[in-house]
């Protein structure tokens, strides 16, 4: 059996509103996107590693870390279109540019810089071994127990989402999981057909909560820096 051809796509749109130029701001001494580029490079499993962006400044930053993506994203640049559409388009751009086809695409969001090479390899091994078509990374909720989640009414009276969970001990509640954009994987033909990583029979793959931290605003950024330092101190 031929070895599958694998492309990594790193979506990094230039028009972030909550943190301007979020994908290339400094994160612990490097542009944020550099952590994802280098994690993908160190995995040594990808035939191509492509940054999907509409912004030349991001491309120039990526080049400093030995990523030479030769084209810009020419559609799906708004903040409404699902990222799956941008990734599918990037795969098509790569196929047309290099005149080659791919069997598997691994989407690695640039705003999850703590996710490392070992996380990528573990996720990809699970995807292959279980013969999945679609696989999304997730993490298990810990101290922030969603079973106790509530919306607040105008008078601050809680409106519990899971009323039955409020009066149940945490150790008696089932584990709940949340998706994270760290590592999404799909068979290319199935992704093109479905138009989304949430395709038929998509599966979740749990990763460590530390690796799953998504950075969307400045509070997330502060949290991610604290988690990064914690992990460094554990070494």
pLDDT digits (tens, 9 = 90+) for 93-141: 999 999 999 999 999 999 999 999 999 999 999 999 999 999 999 999 9
Q: Is the pLDDT of residue 216 over 90?
A: yes
Query: How far apart are alpha carbons 90 and 124 in whole angstroms?
Result: 20
Specify whether 207 is located in the same domain as 184. yes
Specify whether 62 is located in the same domain as 146. no
Specify whether 100 is located in the same domain as 119. yes
* Percent of the chain residues past pLDDT 90, beyond the cut: 85
Query: How far apart are alpha carbons 78 and 87 in whole angstroms?
Result: 14
- 60: its two tokens: 């120039």
Q: What is the pLDDT of residue 1?
A: 61
Q: Is the pLDDT of residue 193 over 90?
A: yes
CATH number at residue 96: 3.90.550.10
Mean pLDDT of 26-55: 97
Helix 32-43 vs helix 117-129: crossing angle, to nearest 10: 50
Q: What is the pLDDT of residue 124?
A: 98
Query: How far apart are alpha carbons 94 and 48 in whole angstroms?
Result: 9
Strands 150-152, 158-160: pairing is: antiparallel
Looking from the CA of 186 toward its CB, the CA atoms found within 13 Å total 25
Q: What is the pLDDT of residue 170?
A: 87
Q: What is the pLDDT of residue 42?
A: 98
Query: How far apart are alpha carbons 114 and 59 in whole angstroms?
Result: 21
- Judge whether 1 lies within some domain: no
Helix 32-43 vs helix 56-63: crossing angle, to nearest 10: 50
Predicted confidence band of residue 235 (pLDDT cuts 50, 70, 90):
low
Q: What is the pLDDT of residue 233?
A: 85
66: left (phi over 0), alpha (psi -120 to 50) or beta: left
pTM of the complete model beyond 0.75:
yes
Specify whether 85 is located in the same domain as 164. no
Domain that holds residue 169: 142-175
Specify whether 230 is located in the same domain as 203. yes
Domain final residue, candidates 158, 175, 192? 175
33 SS3 class:
helix
Report yes or no: 188 and 121 within 8 Å, Cβ to Cβ: no
Q: Is the pLDDT of residue 82 over 80?
A: yes
Mean pLDDT of 140-162: 93
Specify whether 151 is located in the same domain as 186. no
Q: What is the pLDDT of residue 143?
A: 86
Helix (H) or strand (E) holding 75: none
Specify whether 73 is located in the same domain as 26. yes
Mean pLDDT over all residues of the chain? 95
CB atoms within 10 A of CB 212: 23
Over residues 8-20, the pLDDT tens digits come to: 999 999 878 889 9
Q: How many domains does the chain have?
A: 2
């Amino acid at each position: 059996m031929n070895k599958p051809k694998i492309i990594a796509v790193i979506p990094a749109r230039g028009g972030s509103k909550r943190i301007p130029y979020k994908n290339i701001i400094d994160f612990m001494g490097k542009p944020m996107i550099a952590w994802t580029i280098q994690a993908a490079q160190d995995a040594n499993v990808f035939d191509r590693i492509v940054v999907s962006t509409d912004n030349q400044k991001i491309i120039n930053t990526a080049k400093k870390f030995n990523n030479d993506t030769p084209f810009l994203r020419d559609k799906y640049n708004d903040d409404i279109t699902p990222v799956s559409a941008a990734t599918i388009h990037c795969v098509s751009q790569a196929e047309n540019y290099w005149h080659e086809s791919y069997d598997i695409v691994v989407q690695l969001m640039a705003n999850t810089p703590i996710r490392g090479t070992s996380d990528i390899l573990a996720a990809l091994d699970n995807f292959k071994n279980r013969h999945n078509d679609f696989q999304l990374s997730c993490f298990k909720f810990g101290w922030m127990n969603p079973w106790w989640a509530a919306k607040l009414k105008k008078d601050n009276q809680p409106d519990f989402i899971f009323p039955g969970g409020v009066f149940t001990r945490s150790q008696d509640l089932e584990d709940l999981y949340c998706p994270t954009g760290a590592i999404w994987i799909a068979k290319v033909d199935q992704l093109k057909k479905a138009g989304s990583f949430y395709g038929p029979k998509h599966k979740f793959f749990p990763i460590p909560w530390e690796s799953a931290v998504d950075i969307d605003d400045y509070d997330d950024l502060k949290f991610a820096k604290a988690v990064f330092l914690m992990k460094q101190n554990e070494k």
